[in-house]
Structure 1
Amino acid sequence: MHALIVISHPRKDSFTHALATEVAQGVADAGQTHTVEIADLAAEGFNPSFSAQDHAYLKGEAELPADVIAEQERLERADAVVLVYPIYWWSFPALLKGWIDRVFTLDWAYGSGNDGKPVKRLGRFRFHLVGVGDSDIRTYARHGYWGAMKTQIDHGIFDYCGATVVTSEVLPTSEPGFPAGHLETARRIGRKLFASP
């Protein structure tokens, strides 16, 4: 089985990268013949800007950009996808959101049926979301941020496309046991990535 870990953070020494490393180690701990590919969007220089060509593709007036095709092919090779990212303003960072904006395209991630209703095309995908936040979990709950994020991200993006969100974690850096507890959580996610339900 093959895991794709997508990282959205500009610094290699970030806690986000440390969590991604632990997820990868967890996959390795699970043994067998599992493989891991890491997509470091910042290091790879992925352009998150929805361009005129992206828009023209959406309107059926241009070909899909080559960098988007490459990302879709990378996703197609994966049996599980883990997104590891810092939480900026109660959502994805712009780089990761732009990756989704550009890569989750019409006719690949979703479509339109003859009846005009949306067609979900990513039913084969299993996503694991690991967000790193500074506020404690009580703040997320008190202000409704956790529910808003689940609505916007888990439901609004992934469910709309038919993908299954298996794990949806917020790991606040202000929580007791930081960082060891969160690193263990990340490793556990990796170990269970391909475990039977």
Structure 2
Amino acid sequence: MKILVVSAHPEPRSLNASLARFAVGHLRAAGHEVRESDLYAMKWKATVDAGDFPSDDGRLHVMDASERATLAAGLTPDVAAEQEKVLWSDAVVLQFPMWWFSPPAILKGWIDRVFTAGFGYGPTLPPPYTERQFAGRRALVSVTLGARETAFSDRGIHGELKDVLHPIQHGLFWFTGMAPLEPFAVYGANALPEERFEEARRAYAARLDGLFTDEPVPFRTLDGGDYDHDMRLLPGVETPGRSGLGLHVRDVPTGADGRP
């Protein structure tokens, strides 16, 4: 299969860089084709501005300008190259540290600039939150966090990790039709002893081995009958007592062994 690994950390000797290198090597050893986008090494431009749309000289309306440039093959070469990688891929892996409850600005800038109107969303494309635009592609977040795991648990002060990552898991991957897997996380990353790094590598290897076989997060589809015309979940569709972002995840029946 074809896999794109996008990494975002300024230090090539960092834990994140080590995990990115491990992922690339492990996937290639398994017979996959892998392409990399090391955003800091690439000196990726993180901000959307008028320079992204050189042929558009009017008042900048980002969605309209990006759609015109996308449909006319008028995007800048760096953005066009990253879009080609996404289209080439069967899976996308994002590797990054959690900074202020979000990815580093350079990775957010990659998302902002690459997923233009006409490519990732917009009226010329199928509706969002459906298995259409980038259907068939898997997506995996690999994130490092300085805090302990309990701080990102159901009663943890930081909130559940799945909620913190909702803008990427649901708002990027599922919005564009990719199938997001449960994230891979390394906690306590600021002072990770060697034995825990080896444990993390073994756990990451297992997750990478399941990239195309593990069940994705069962987010609801916009066109599956669960939402009204205003994109609001219909009353009574959810499990009684469920609220918040969990409303948008379908209940999946499990068998006697606890597996879906």
Partner of 1:69: 80
TM-score, L = length of structure 1: 0.86
Q: Is the Cα–Cα contact under 8 Å of residues 122 and 161 in structure 1 kept in the other structure?
A: yes
Q: Is the Cα–Cα contact under 8 Å of residues 5 and 82 in structure 1 kept in the other structure?
A: yes
- What are the superposed Cα offsets for residues 87-116 of structure 1, whole Å, 9 maximum, x if unpaired? 1011111111110011011111112279x9
Superposed counterparts of 1:1-197, under 5 Å: 1-31=1-31, 34-54=32-52, 58-60=63-65, 62=69, 63-112=74-123, 118=128, 121-141=133-153, 142-143=156-157, 144-173=159-188, 178-195=196-213
Structure 2 counterpart SS, 1:179: helix
Structure 1 counterpart SS, 2:48: coil
TM-score, L = length of structure 2: 0.66
Distance 1:164 1:18 in 2: 25
CA RMSD of superposed structures (Å): 2.6
Change (3 A) 1:129 1:196: closer
Partner of 2:245: none
Unaligned runs of 5+ in 1: none
Distance 1:77 1:195 in 2: 20
Range moving further from structure 2, 124-133 or 166-175: 166-175
Distance 2:117 2:182 in 1: 25
Distance 1:167 1:81 in 2: 13
- Amino acid paired to 1:35: E
Q: Per residue, is there more strand in 1 or in 2? A: 1
Q: Is the Cα–Cα contact under 8 Å of residues 27 and 208 in structure 2 kept in the other structure?
A: yes
Structure 1 counterpart SS, 2:117: coil
Task: Report deviation, 1:169.
Answer: 1.9
Larger radius of gyration: 2
Q: Report the number of matched residues.
A: 194
Distance 1:170 1:27 in 2: 18
Task: Report deviation, 1:50.
Answer: 0.9
Change (3 A) 1:167 1:21: farther
- Among the aligned pairs, what percent are the same residue? 30
Q: Is the Cα–Cα contact under 8 Å of residues 127 and 164 in structure 1 kept in the other structure?
A: yes
Unaligned runs of 5+ in 2: 53-59, 216-260
Q: Per residue, is there more helix in 1 or in 2? A: 1
Range moving further from structure 2, 166-175 or 80-89: 166-175
Distance 2:197 2:165 in 1: 24
Change (3 A) 1:117 1:3: closer
Change (3 A) 1:56 1:84: same
Structure 1 counterpart SS, 2:181: strand
Q: Is the Cα–Cα contact under 8 Å of residues 23 and 189 in structure 1 kept in the other structure?
A: no
Task: Report deviation, 1:128.
Answer: 0.8
Query: Which is bigger in relative contact order (C-alpha 8 A, separation at least 6)?
Result: 1
